[in-house]
Amino acid sequence: MIYRSFSRKIFEICNALFFIGFSLTIIVPFVNAIAISLSSFDEVFAGSVGLWPKGFNLDAYYQLAYSKQFIRTFLNTVVLTAVNTSLVIVLSMAAGYVLAHKNLHGRSFLFLFLIVPMYFSGGLVPFYLLVNALGMNNTYWALILPSVINIFYIIVFRNQIMQLPQELMESAEMDGAGELRILTSIILPLVMPMAMAFVVFSAVAYWNEWFNVLIFIRDKTMWTLQFQLRDILSNARLVDTQTNQAMVKDGFQVDPQNLKMAALMLTVLPIIIVYPFVQKYFIHGQLVGAVKG
């Protein structure tokens, strides 16, 4: 048996109570949002919904399902998340492998060249002027190209690859393997937990992207889901409806609060569903990075 002093027991009790209270501050509003999204117009309008739906109905979800704008923004977000996540992981791993290569001349200078903009940037105005000068304003490219290089990922991949036994790469070279074959067949399986952790980070970040939409996009058909949610929470209406009062469309009567909470649930639900399946990679990748980074 492990001896625990009285002060240690007090600390553990206080620690448990703190985290229980902290968890409740997250869980209770989330459950309330679910209950509002599933409640009837009259109950939501009266403000009587707590942690359980009253007058259960799915009118708010039907309203969103019938909105072409909401469906378009959902598809935009799915495609942009998949494309940006794939590009940032592939480019970061390739760049990290190049910087870790022992035969690369001037790799110290290149490493310093990456470190400097990681801590110092030109700011928002030069960033906007550059994107605009390249003709990417109000295009999907403005949501893709500025985000595909992540210097932090490159540095972590570089450090991770440098920790690997060099004999593995040398033996592959002796067998006639090229750089691409070494990267995909030898390096990738060894850094897969790290790569999957970065996939989770990137996917969540791109799924929540809205700021670049705000400053670059004028066409509503190119909005992302988070920017659409921002518009709904601000105006309490869909773009393709004409009023922010109680909405009646195709037989549905939807309170603005219903619509807000339903949109919120549909926005966070995909991440909640996917996260448990990648959690093991997420945790293992963090541990590997902490030990060898």
pLDDT tens digit sequence for 49-87: 878 888 787 878 888 888 888 889 999 999 999 999 999
pTM (whole model) above 0.85: no
Cα–Cα nearest to 257, from 66, 62, 39, 24:
39
Q: Greater confidence, 257 or 198?
A: 198
Structure tokens at 90: 């592939």
Structure tokens at 33: 């949002």
In the chain the domains, ranked by start, together with CATH numbers, are: 59-293 (1.10.3720.10)
For 183-231, how does the pLDDT look when each residue is reduced to its tens digit (9 = 90+)?
888 888 888 888 888 888 888 888 888 899 999 998 888 999 888 888 8
For 77-129, how does the pLDDT look when each residue is reduced to its tens digit (9 = 90+)?
999 999 999 999 999 999 888 888 877 787 788 888 888 888 887 788 888 99
Distances, alpha carbon 146 to alpha carbons 73, 77, 143, 286, in Å: 20, 16, 7, 26
